DNA sequence: AAGAAACGCAACCGCCTTGCT
DNA sequence: TAGCAAGGCGGTTGCGTTTCT
């Protein structure tokens, strides 16, 4: 791993400590969890990415991949190659920023490397590339009005597992289609961010504005 | 069957932002 | 207003596992 792997005992100590004292006081965790020789940052990361309840593991579903690519196009900084993984992850129930980032770096970035301007590409015709799935799941475009759940469904494990994971081949085909198809994102939707370069639109203007766009109708 | 290469992902690092004094 | 501490984030690393030759 990228560092010293956490032992079961360390996980148990951290979980117990957070259940007792709550999330958020990371600077106190190393003090409160006797025997846990980890810094506040490591504790926070371990909790958020691994121990926290509702953390979803396993393959990404097509809806999740769809949303990652959409949001990556919208939230990615074209000039700096910077991305807002936490914002993307925030719209994928059970997924962490680290998960999304890893998935992008391992799977999608290589496959979309030839796409000139992803944010002007489109995410359409998913139905063509779908694996068999329960009716009305993948083809339903939710309203997502509360910005908390991409499928506008209760955040339950049941809903999550109904999403059908894509194989690598299917992702390949889907990404290829994305590259070849002319953009469906209207330029005017982005012009407000482009005018005058980055100086006229701060990062927070971006964040505030970005969710005014109905992602599911793009 | 064995070694090499590629992949996946947990963990670390450094920087930035925020809140408090 | 400045300085400090803590939270949070994105980029990177490196080891275990899987696939390929």
Mean pLDDT: which of A66-70, A148-152, A165-169, A189-193 is highest? A66-70
Asked if strand C comes closer than 7 Å to A142 Cβ, the answer is no
Spatial distance from the CA of A41 to the C1' of C8 (Å): 9
Query: Which CATH number does A8-51 carry?
Result: 1.10.10
Instruction: Identify the three-state secondary structure at position A119.
Output: helix
Token pair of A54, please? 């509702």
pLDDT tens, residue by residue, A121-137: 333 333 333 333 332 32
Q: Is the CB of A77 under 7 A from strand C?
A: no
pLDDT tens figures, A136-156: 323 333 333 333 333 333 333
CA A106 from chain centre, in angstroms, equals 14
* Domain layout of chain A by residue ranges: 8-51, 62-217
Over the stretch A43-67, which tens digit does the pLDDT of each residue have?
A: 888 888 888 887 887 778 877 888 8
List, in order, residues 6 or more apart from A63 with CB less than 8 Å away. A138, A150, A151, A163
Q: A121 with A183: CB under 8 angstroms?
A: yes
DSSP single-letter state for residue A72: H
What is the pTM (predicted TM-score) of this model? 0.63
Give the nucleotide at minimum CA-to-C1' distance from A39.
B12
């Amino acid at each position: 791993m990228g560092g010293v792997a956490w032992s079961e005992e360390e996980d148990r100590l951290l979980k117990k400590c957070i259940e007792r004292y709550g999330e958020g006081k990371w600077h106190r965790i190393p003090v409160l969890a006797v025997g846990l020789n980890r810094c506040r940052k490591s504790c926070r990361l371990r909790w958020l990415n691994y121990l926290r309840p509702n953390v979803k593991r396993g393959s990404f579903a097509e809806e999740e991949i769809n949303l990652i690519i959409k949001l990556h196009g919208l939230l990615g900084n074209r000039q700096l190659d910077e991305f807002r993984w936490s914002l993307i992850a925030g719209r994928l129930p059970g997924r962490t920023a680290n998960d999304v980032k890893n998935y992008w770096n391992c799977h999608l970035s290589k496959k979309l490397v030839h796409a000139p301007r992803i944010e002007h590409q489109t995410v359409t015709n998913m139905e063509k590339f779908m694996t068999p799935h329960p009716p009305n799941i993948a083809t339903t475009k939710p309203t997502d009005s509360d910005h908390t759940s991409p499928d506008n469904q209760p955040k339950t494990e049941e809903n999550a597992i109904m999403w059908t994971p894509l194989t690598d081949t299917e992702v390949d085909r889907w990404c290829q289609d994305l590259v070849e198809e002319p953009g469906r994102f209207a330029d005017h939707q982005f012009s407000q961010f482009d005018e005058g370069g980055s100086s006229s639109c701060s990062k927070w203007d971006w964040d505030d504005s970005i969710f005014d766009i109905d992602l599911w109708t793009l």
